[in-house]
Amino acid sequence: MRRSGGLPGGRAGLSSHGPPAQGLAAGLVEPRHAELFSLALRFGPVTRGQLAAWTGLDTSTVTRSLRPLIDDDYLRESGPPPAGRTTAGRGRPVQALSVNPGRHVAIGVKLGPSAVSAVLTDLSATVLARHAAPLVSTEPATALATICEVVDELLSTSGRDRTDVLGVGVGLSGHVEPESGSCRLSAILGWRDVPVRAPLADLLDLPVVVQNDVNTLALAEHWFGRGRGTSTLAVVTLGIGIGCGLVLGDRLHTGERGIAGELGHLPLDPQGRLCTCGARGCLEALAGDAAICELSGCSSVADAMTTAAGRGVTAARARKAFHDAGDALGRGLAGLCNLIDPELVIIAGESAVAFDLMEPAVRESLAVHGFSGVSSEVRIVADPGQEDLWTRGAASLAIRAGVGQL
């Protein structure tokens, strides 16, 4: 019998997200196993009773379904539940279940215009090894060959066999079709209609999944980061461009053709600066790194931050540059909030370190343009760039695909 229940954050029970990825480990092929495993991975340690409540399954059904996962060492009993989680009842003491993070590894790759970076992680997206190599050319064959070299080096230095790898996730800038894993357009790479997933899977002899790089960050934040337990969130990245990854109703939302979340190309000022996309007044053209550098007269955002901390005319100019960029970003976030009403907005990316200089203007603009007091209710947090930001996001993509939730 099925019962009503809710996941952390008040969501309805999960349903299957489609067939598991090719090459998936045998223990997770059955959809029910994948669903239970993904819940334990994201919210563990968990009890059988919690899994029953979240999925709507009878506790006895959950217990039977978990047995193969425990026998195959995907899940392990980890003792009594943490404080605050129910242990009521008679008979055998309640045992919490935790994922064995070392059962498999995942590989995350960030393909940039000048380098290929990659990490090897366990199933909790904890980085175990990293490697990078320069990209001498963005020509597709060269880029894919470089990815293979980096992956081979990671496996060699970490001592892990290909049979240990759950999958390889690849993140790149641009329009990526999630189903085919092809890049429709990437201005940074100079690509148009380039197949990525299929040829790379053949070269690596491993399951491969490809996504827009900002979408991989949204997934990582949702499963393993600040968005854990949040059903509706947006990850907005600041840098050369402005990107946005969306999780709606507990699922990564990429749209019909993979271009959902192009917040950077929200048209704000038809007379504004020319954007890289060819239009004028896009949010990216008003609040991206180039706009801040131009307005501040500095060579980089880091230089503008240092200048803004000083005194005099140049410091005032730098502070105004961040204010104006923040005002534009606030208007963009107001549009985002008015459309999808997120519980949480995470500011990430390389230039998120400058968000504190923009934040007052962001919140002021959001208060003016956000509908029905949205500015006072949406949580906005900064998660500044870190060494493994993009590659760990790509590894999270591989982990999700590997447990049948793609």
Superfamily covering domain 105-218+389-402: ATPase, nucleotide binding domain (3.30.420.40)
Identify how many contiguous H helices and E strands the chain contains and give both numbers.
12, 17
Burial class (CB in 10 A: 0-12, 13-18, 19+), 49: middle
Is the model more confident about 403 or about 216? 216
Q: Stretch 286-302: mean pLDDT, rounded?
A: 96
Is-contact 228 219, C-beta < 8 A? no
Express as a percent the part of the chain with pLDDT over 90: 64
Query: Confidence band (pLDDT; 50, 70, 90) for 94?
Result: confident
pLDDT band of 95, cuts 50, 70, 90? confident
Whether pLDDT at 27 is above 80: no
Question: Quick one: average pLDDT of 141-163?
Answer: 95
Residue 15 has a pLDDT of 32
Residue 12, pLDDT score: 37
What is the architecture, at CATH level 2, of domain 227-382?
2-Layer Sandwich (3.30)
Q: Where in the chain is the domain with CATH 3.30.420.40?
A: 105-218+389-402, 227-382
Report the pLDDT value the prediction gives residue 6, as an integer from 0 to 100: 52
Q: What does the pLDDT read at residue 75?
A: 92
Instruction: Flag the least confident range among 9-18, 94-103, 198-207, 254-263.
Output: 9-18
- Phi/psi at 67 (5° precision): -55, -45
- Do 334 and 377 form a contact (C-beta atoms < 8 A)? no
DSSP summary character for residue 179: T
Q: Which of 116-120, 121-125, 294-298, 386-390 has the lowest mean pLDDT?
A: 386-390
Residue 206 predicted with pLDDT over 60: yes
Asked if 88 and 98 touch (Cβ cutoff 8 Å), the reply is no
pLDDT tens digits, one per residue of 106-116? 999 999 999 99
C-alpha span between 174 and 189 (Å, rounded): 8
55-69, 122-136, 204-218, 311-325: least confidently modelled range: 55-69
HEC assignment per residue over 13-62 = CCCCCCCCCCCCCHHHCCHHHHHHHHHHHHHCCECHHHHHHHHCCCHHHH
Of 231 and 8, which is predicted with more confidence? 231
* Residue 178 reports pLDDT greater than 70: yes
Residue 8: what pLDDT?
63
Average pLDDT, the chain: 87
Of the pLDDT bands very low, low, confident and very high (cuts 50, 70, 90), residue 187 is: confident
- Between the alpha carbon of residue 383 and those of residues 203, 235, 247, the distances in Å are 35, 10, 17
In the predicted model, is pLDDT for residue 406 greater than 80?
no
Residue 84 confidence (pLDDT) above 70? no
Tell me the pLDDT tens digit for each residue of 373-396: 877 789 999 987 677 989 999 999
User: Tokens at residue 44, please?
Assistant: 């563990």
- At 398, phi and psi to the nearest 5? -65, -40
Q: 82 pLDDT band (50/70/90 cuts)?
A: low
Domain with CATH 1.10.10.10 in the chain: 6-99
Question: Is the CB of residue 334 less than 8 Å from the CB of residue 365?
Answer: yes
The pLDDT of residue 229 is 86
Query: Exposed, middle or buried by CB within 10 Å (0-12, 13-18, 19+), for 155?
Result: buried
In what helix (H) or strand (E) does residue 146 lie, and over which residues does it extend? helix 140-158
Residue 365's pLDDT band, with cuts at 50, 70 and 90, is very high
Q: What is the mean pLDDT of residues 72-78?
A: 88
Q: At the top level of CATH, which class does the domain 6-99 belong to?
A: mainly alpha
pLDDT at 137 over 80: yes
Which residues share a beta bridge with 127?
Answer: 121
299/165 Cα distance (integer angstroms): 42
Whole-number pLDDT of residue 1:
37
In this predicted model, what pLDDT tens digit does every residue of 245-262 receive, in sequence order? Answer: 999 998 999 988 888 898
